[in-house]
Structure 1
Amino acid sequence: MKAPPSPDSRHAAGIHAKVALLREPATYAGAREVETVETHMSWVFLTERDAYKLKKPVRYDFLDFTTTAARERNAREEVRLNRRLSDGVYLGVRRLTRSAEGRLAIEGRGETVDWLVHMRRLPRDRMLDALIRGGRLVPGDVRPVADKLAAFYAQSPTVDTDPETYRARLRASLHGHRAALLDPAWGLEPGLVRAGLDEAERLLDREPALFGGRAGRIVEGHGDLRPEHVCLESPPIVFDCLEFNREFRLVDPTDELAALGMECERLGAAFVGDELLFAYQQRTGDGPPPELIDFYRTGRAGLRAKLAIWHLREVEKSAWGHWQALARSYLRLASRYGTRLAAMG
């Protein structure tokens, strides 16, 4: 994958006008203030009660949002997919309109110029990452979300996957992470990059049957399961799934659970991963060996390190330290998992 591109310059004026409108509290009934969050692929506008997401007209190797029709299609797909795990949060898709006089509005008169995903705003202090960082999460708190995810995976139909193709996909991912992180321009230590990723690839070579057996358990999952996408309301909410590329959502459930557990471990709550996997095993009877879980954790840590280091292409050199430190924190986790893999081998 290439580094994220800038928005198409032909759309720049339209984007600026849309963002300016959506930043104004007067755009929303009863709103007193609007908080704006920008990501590579969208803007999110948060009022006291609601959230509206506007997708950027960008093109990547793995998606193309440069047309209004594509953004509508993906907005609708985002709502459909996320309703699987977040009852009552995704309220629908709203039109952004422009009148004959050029006035922009949400669901106003005139032509449709863009589409918005409309959500209920979730309480920030109940997000899983916020609870861990605040020292407010204790064992047992995540059991409801563990049960919810376990039921979701148990009810999801499997997707026919060739064992050799699955192993090749895993190997290609490891190679891609390693190649990106070893670029000398980023200043990462080669030994730290290789420590976990090399050991994970050795397990792929050493235990082909282990991975071949997992190919029969692939489902269409969440695709981006992280603590900031889990809200511990009652019932718990899992949101912001990866909607734009189905291939990225085709996962072994234990891989996705290992990813969430790895992220929680980095934040200081390693017990979360064990609770997630225990609930899954109880619900499905699927108890993968520890080496498989550490393999998946290693690969996910390598992915997150790569995504962190890619930010160096987009920020001033004075800001590199933050992203390098974040990448190293993931690589230290990968190295820890790799050490366990080596001991088990």
Structure 2
Amino acid sequence: MQIERAERLKKLPPYLFKELDRLRDEVRAQGVDIIDFGVGDPDLPTPDHIVEALKKAVEDPSTHRYPSYSGMNDFRDCVARWYKKRFGVDLDPAREVIVLIGSKEGIAHIPLAFINPGDLALVPTPAYPVYHTGTIFAGGESYFMPLLEENDFLPDLNAIPEDVAEKARMMFINYPNNPTSAVAEEDFFRRVVDFARTYNIIVCHDAAYSELAFDGYKPMSFLQVEGAKEVGIEFHSLSKTYNMTGWRLGFAVGNAEVIQGLGQVKSNIDSGAFNAVQMAGIAALEGDQTCVEENCRIYKERRDVLVAGLRSAGLKPIVPKATFYVWCRIPENTTSTDFSMRLLKEAGIVTTPGNGFGEPGEGYVRFALTVPVERIEEAIERIKKLGV
């Protein structure tokens, strides 16, 4: 029997992080001691009070049944309270909040609600690959908005051709940004709102890293800007804030009609997030936030050690205000892929080549700060020995 995959799958580039895992495992199988700065998966444990809340919830048989498609009322109420406290944004938990099985799931599904075959989505590059792949699955096409260092890694909205803007149905943005760690301020978000109003575009802001910030910096929510809720929604996740990547819990908030559209897709595809995990999510959002402060302290220490070390090795890292990534310029005589492969094969160090996130990422690699300080110091010594 001949098995042929659908055309939509043939259009997909290899999923970057899956390929990184394969290459890493190949080198590790050769007996190499691997230091992994690749995928952004926290190495820190989920805080105890969240784990205990899950244990208690799992023991309640009522949590074992199908959850609500939109999420538990208690969790959506909790999200609305958290948004009010954190950002000063008012949300109607019944209409403007939906629970996700991790923010990736919602980002991948939302184009199905609003993109018809042939429609355009405005997608940043370099970027998290799911903005583009979700668009492909919906039969749409991506118009890529380059994120360039000379523009502070913000898309130049004025450079988008009029005919493209007229055809676009959605725009994805992500600040604090993965992979560049760039941040956006109120002026940029205001321009996004004005642009979206002008061309009737739904804005999807991925704010998964808003709580990982350093040196007193506090990232803002897109929804804090006047008119933002009229044009879009914001995706959030408990994964990075509370070290809960494996728990798969996130949420989307904002425009009620957009939330309803996403909910219609989800109700036909999944059966909602496990109620026990949502109850643990309430403990996370409403519990003691010193665990978040401690995460930021640890990542800041790692950031400082890594940045200083990369500089001493002759590289040019960009100091992040937020996220747990360091976006680093590499020597001009090599490519991102070749540089990453050299680090892996000759030094046992896993990084993510910038061009894997999109063509404008060429000339950079990404380091994830999910490695203890002593291993960062070991990695720096290995890089110095390579003489990069």
Q: TM over 0.5: same fold?
A: no
TM-score (norm 2): 0.25
TM-score (norm 1): 0.27
Structure having the higher helix fraction is 1
* Larger RCO, structure (CA 8 Å, separation 6 or more): 2
